[in-house]
Amino acid sequence: MAVKVYCMADRNFQDKTLLLGPGKYYKLEIIKTIEAVHGELWYVGKDCNGLRHLIPVSIYGKYGIEPGNVIYCRLDWINCQGRFFFEPRHPYYSEGETYSFELLGLQNCEEGSKTCYAMVRDIFGQELKTLPFNCSGIVSGKAKSLTCKVVRIKKAVPYLEVSVI
């Protein structure tokens, strides 16, 4: 779904219209941080159209975003009220790439079971659970790290798929 947004900065469209669509990346200039009614902090980002969008500090505060920064964000979706939901590009991980994570342990790896998932720690110290994988032949407790592919990043949480055992 694309939304028609007026863009005075884009000279490619004769009617000065830029279509923004989910799944694509856009630049947002962080103008300021504001405090909402209930004490929640939000980044205020401005796109090339001059439209302002809110990004929650509670989720993306670890990214080091500050007023004056220009960040790249994926437009995740647009709700029925026309509100845009952006996912800022992760400062360390990229979707589709593989990284080594500290292995905290394996779970649901019972005798005779072929699938389990791993608990790992990311660069910010968050404990993450991988997607289920075939764990036959794994001896728990020997490995200190695990190589995982970042399948998706949503609300600053990497979704991981074990790639090398």
24 pLDDT above the threshold of 50: yes
Instruction: Note whether residue 11 is domain-resident.
Output: yes
Total number of domains constituting the chain:
2
Predicted TM-score (pTM) above 0.85? no
Q: Which of 88, 118, 134 is the last residue of a domain?
A: 88
Instruction: Note whether residue 63 is domain-resident.
Output: yes
Residues 77 and 144 in one domain: no
Which tokens hold the place of 69? 């920064």
Residues 14 and 45 in one domain: yes
SS3 for 129? Answer: strand
- According to DSSP, the residues that pair with 30 across neighbouring strands are 45
Q: Which position has the higher pLDDT, 130 or 107?
A: 130
C-alpha torsion sign, points 25, 3, 84, 43: positive
Rounded distance, CA 139 to CA 126, Å? 24
What's 53's domain CATH number?
Answer: 2.40.50.140
1 pLDDT above the threshold of 90: no
